[in-house]
Chain A
Amino acid sequence: MQSNAALEYDYSVAKLFTYATILFGILGMIIGTLIAAQLAFPELNYLIGEYGTFSRLRPVHTTVVIFGFTLSGVFATFYYVGQRVLKVSMAESKFLMFIGKLHFWLYFVGALIATITLLLGYSQAKEYAQYEWPIDVIIVIVWVLWGISIFGLIGIRRENSLYISLWYYIACFLGVAMLYLFNNMAVPTYFVSGGMGSVLHSVSMYSGSNDALVQWWWGHNAVAFVFTVPIVAIIYYFLPKESGQAIYSYKLSLLSFWGLMFVYLWAGSHHLLYSPVPDWMQTMGSVFSVVLILPSWGSAINMLLTMKGEWNQLTENPLIKFMVLASTFYMLSTLEGPIQAVKSVNAIAHFTDWIPGHVHDGVLGWVAFMIMAALFHMAPRMFKREIHSKSLLEAQFWLQTTAVVLYFTSMWISGITQGMMWRAVDEYGNLMYSFIDTVAVLHPYYVIRALAGVLYVTGFFIFTYNMIKTMTSSKELTEEPQFRSPMA
């Protein structure tokens, strides 16, 4: 029997993941800013001995941001959105509540252990898949727990049709599961050798160019299924909710979803252009990367058109600002990626700063903006208080937008400069620059990038302060706001 009374949703798990998002955000971004500064001022490499070099910290930065900050944000929004679009409360099932909490605690403790192992240097040395096999086992369990949460909630749903956001959460769950498992296939050496050496050590099931293919099939699609798919899930829920506008086109969302699913996986080999993997695979990677513009822009345009006739909200509501700019950065980033995947451009761009530049206009401008906006939308509903300060929100917006622009422009210039210098020849056809010339010239851009990092982190601290105040001391709300989040 369905009751007509309004459902009271249970946000205890969503809150836990919200705290984790903030914590890992601070950690990941501070380390990111530190390693950016190390490239400009190498003395900063010696702050904590052998554990503080750029090389050791770089995977800590990438994994904390991807698997700490972003995934926490994804989980936080899922435990909020999932209940609401399925019209069931977590409180209705003791089992799901238990699974949800177990999911959080295992994830949180696992993430801390994983980060420490990387600092100590236990690494498979595969990018974004550095964790050694015991950590992988924890990750698989955490992932399965999330799967139980997703399909458990779906199992007891009152709303029969799955909302668009859920399509993307399900895709995130399945995609990461498949890719992560295959890429991390490794043989622990301790057991095969009869108890010799380190228990943590393992050796990849794949060698050489095979390993490269599997790794970038994962590496590229970690971007797809952590930085894109669940973030699209977030915007499909939160933009309509915050603006009070219906999604512009259902058909466009269908086309974008199934298109994205089909096309994204092919594009991984664009990370291996001009490498010794077979040429036809490289070309496939290039071509599919270009095709990828269609479903990516499909979602982004669907979002922008959702604001049709309501553009005044852009000036009135900073959360709409965050979300609209996020879709715009998503468009920029998904145009830039295919450009870099064209072979002649890649010949210059590969191995240069243009690649981290590209990653960061996506992650800082799209992923983090969306996650922060979603948490701001959730906070008044979860904590039943209005957002602490609109002016701080505005300040954060402009500070971080400036930071993103400084970051990617400096890295574009730096990347193209270095790429061109590597290949420059004099009138006799000899190389014009020694390698070190191409490093020394980048110093100013590294300074600008580090400055961008400082600005962005400052913005994140403003966000944190604003969130904490919202959780603890701002004005209490008597009833749940329907659309626009109330803010002081």
Chain B
Amino acid sequence: MFHWLEKNPFFFSVGVFVVIAFAGLIEILPNFAEASRPVVGLKPYTVLQLAGKEVYKKDNCLSCHSQMIRPFKAETDRYGQYSLSGEYAYDRPFLWGSRRLGPDLHRVGNYRTTDWHENHMWEPTDVVPATIMPSYKHQFTNLADIETAYAEAVTVKKVFATPYDTPNGVKLGTWEEAHTAALVEAKKITADMKNKDVKDAVENGNIPEIVALIAYLNRLK
């Protein structure tokens, strides 16, 4: 049979494809049937948090930080409750990461505050002298892309039925409404910040990346 296959490239290729596709069918698809169902009380990201998630992706924080706490005592002692599948239901993509050059961040919102992040992102060595993390000062001047974040929210609402605009849920509304809501949320964050330029920018209706990023990090609980 194998000799025959080697003389018939078409059937050879079909054979290879069937053999390699097999595992995916058996191993990947069953989980899709289960779908990733949200844990009770999980809300979709606000537009500002989504914009922060984009900053997290853009500066690729997941190069060094995981968002997945394994069920070991050493990990739950250090980072909190181990991670559950349903907590990630609105994460597209998932941001578990694969390396901890820095600590896990899945519940960083429980034990770090806005001002801590502000100081730390500005100059990590001021907060943790031995750290090897670089500073991210450009996040204090670059503006977050709120419009793209809104586009993402609209997309996941339309295509994946992510529950925006539901009772007790996260309100999305029109672009103007969403933009205003993002500014209101941003002002709550800058109230705890000290950087004058960032505060001024938000007063003038612009949201620097750092504000969106902190909104996202504070939400990680």
Kindly name the residue among A125, A265, A277 whose own CB sees the greatest number of chain B CB atoms within 10 A: A125
Query: Which of B6, B23, B57 interacts with A265 by CB under 8 Å?
Result: B23
Given contacts A171-B16, A209-B31, A217-B28, contact A42 B133 (CB under 8 A): yes
- The answer to whether residues A125 and B60 also contact, given A208-B91, A209-B31, A355-B99 and a CB cut-off of 8 A, is yes
- Interface of chain B residues 84 through 121 with chain A (CB within 8 A): 84-96, 98-103
- Whether the Cβ atoms of A55 and B61 lie closer than 8 Å is yes
Q: How far does the Cβ of B38 sit from chain A's closest Cβ, in whole Å? A: 9
Please measure, in the bound complex, the distance between the C-alpha atom of A151 and the C-alpha atom of B14, giving whole angstroms: 13
Indicate the member of A50, A170, A269, A423 with the most B CB atoms within 10 Å: A50
Contact A197 B60 (CB under 8 A): no
Q: Across the interface, name the chain B residue whose C-beta is closest to A150.
A: B9
CB-based contact B147/A196 at 8 Å = yes
Q: Are B17 and A208 in contact, CB atoms less than 8 angstroms apart?
A: no
User: A276: nearest residue on chain B (CB-CB)?
Assistant: B85
State A121–B63 Cα separation when bound (angstroms).
13
* Inter-subunit contact B89/A435 (CB<8 Å): no
A197 x B149 contact (CB < 8 A): yes
Which residues of chain A are near B58, meaning CB under 8 Å?
121-123
A198 interfacial by beta-carbon distance below 8 Å: yes
Instruction: Answer yes or no: A54 CB below 8 A from chain B CBs.
Output: yes
Is A206 a contact of B96 with CB atoms below 8 Å?
no
Name the contact of B57 in the complex, choosing from A123, A268, A355, A440 (C-beta under 8 A).
Answer: A123
B158 adjacent to A356 (CB under 8 Å): no
* CB proximity to B under 8 Å, residues A20-78: 38-39, 42, 45-46, 49-50, 53-56, 58-59
Interface presence of B13 (CB below 8 A): yes
Q: Cβ of B145: which chain A residues have Cβ within 8 Å of it? A: 197-198
A278 interface residue, CB < 8 Å from B?
A: yes
Size class of the contact patch on chain A = 35 or more
Q: Could you say which of B2, B12, B19, B94 has the most chain A C-beta atoms within 10 Å of its C-beta?
A: B94
User: Chain B interface: which of A101-109, A160-168, A300-308?
Assistant: A160-168
Q: How long is the Cα–Cα vector from A436 to B131 in the complex, in angstroms?
A: 7
Which B residues lie within 8 Å of A50 (CB)?
59, 136, 138, 142
Of the residues A198, A205, A356, A436, contact of B99 by C-beta under 8 Å: A356
Contact B70 A274 (CB under 8 A): yes
A162 touches B6 (CB 8 A): yes
Let me know if A187 is at the binding interface, CB within 8 A.
yes
Query: A49, A198, A208, A423: which contacts B148 (Cβ < 8 A)?
Result: A198
Contacts of B77 in A (CB 8 A): 430-431
Q: Does A204 contact B (CB under 8 A)?
A: yes
Residue in contact with A54 in the complex, picked from B22, B27, B63, B95, CB distance below 8 Å: B63
Choose from B89, B99, B155 the contact partner of A189 (Cβ within 8 Å).
Answer: B155
Say yes or no: A201-B151 contact (C-beta < 8 A), given A125-B60, A211-B91, A281-B27: yes
Cβ of A193 within 8 Å of any chain B Cβ, yes or no, is yes
**Would you give the shortest CB distance from B76 to chain A, in whole angstroms?**
11
Tell yes or no: A2 within 8 A of B by CB.
Answer: no
Knowing A207-B36, A265-B23, A422-B78 are in contact, say whether A42-B132 is a contact too (CB < 8 A): yes
A210 touching B35 in the complex, CB below 8 Å, given contacts A266-B27, A347-B72: yes
| Minimal beta-carbon separation of A272 from chain B (angstroms) | 8
Which of A39, A161, A204, A205 is the one whose CB lies under 8 Å from B7? A161
CB proximity of B77 to chain A, nearest CB, Å: 5
A–B complex contacts, Cβ < 8 Å, 19 sampled: A39-B101, A121-B60, A123-B60, A154-B9, A175-B20, A196-B151, A196-B175, A201-B152, A207-B36, A207-B89, A207-B92, A207-B160, A210-B35, A212-B88, A265-B22, A265-B27, A351-B66, A422-B74, A423-B72
With A55-B59, A122-B58, A355-B99 already in contact, 18 other A-B pairs whose C-beta atoms are closer than 8 Å:
A38-B132, A53-B134, A56-B59, A125-B56, A125-B93, A161-B6, A170-B16, A196-B175, A198-B145, A207-B92, A209-B36, A211-B92, A265-B20, A268-B27, A274-B71, A275-B83, A276-B84, A352-B100
- 9 tightest Cβ-Cβ pairs between the two chains A and B: A208-B88, A197-B148, A45-B134, A265-B23, A197-B151, A121-B58, A193-B151, A276-B85, A196-B151
Residues of A within 8 A of B (CB): 38-39, 42, 45-46, 49-50, 53-56, 58-59, 121-127, 151, 154, 160-162, 167, 170-171, 174-175, 178, 182, 187, 189-190, 192-194, 196-198, 201, 203-215, 217, 254, 258, 261-262, 264-266, 268-269, 271, 274-278, 281, 284, 288, 347, 350-352, 355-356, 418, 422-425, 430-431, 435-436, 439-440
